[in-house]
Structure 1
């Protein structure tokens, strides 16, 4: 399982896959189900129940991704607003500019 490719496809840093408990759990579950599959097993020809369960799981995960994307967008907007306020305070001389060792982001 290529975690770098997964993180890149999802649009976030690879460390999220390790640090975020939900992501780590989902990857562990996916990895364990992937290793249980063997050629010629029942997983090669899923039944209607299995297909329905998989479709439900996909729908649940798609909903979760949409919720997390919305939360991410909201947090980015809040960060942008906070930076604008901080920049205005620095420009007015009411606040000293923070030291950023890694450059601006």
Structure 2
């Protein structure tokens, strides 16, 4: 098995990038985007190399920048979340208060249980009643 040199791998990856851009161009598509920028991870995966190549190799970055100017970026439409109504906020606040009260009550009941268990243990071992 013959291992490829770094330059051969770099040339192969660059040709994959150029082919990917050409396929998009002939299909009339744009580069994949995310949050208004090109999705470098998607481009790198489609071309078969790591995303970091765009930061490490200026030639790849230039090729991608030229493709962005030529093809543009396809930014998916994101549905805006429905605004929370004040009624929902009030309900959430009420439920949070109920949860806090239940937690506090649970904590107090567990404290009492530990105390009563200690009294029962003392009575069982000593046979004497605890006055508290």
Please identify which structure carries the higher strand content.
Answer: 2
TM-score w.r.t. length of structure 2: 0.34
**Which structure is higher in RCO with an 8 Å CA cutoff and minimum separation 6?**
2
Structure possessing the higher radius of gyration over alpha carbons: 2
Please identify which structure carries the higher helix content.
Answer: 1
TM-score w.r.t. length of structure 1: 0.42
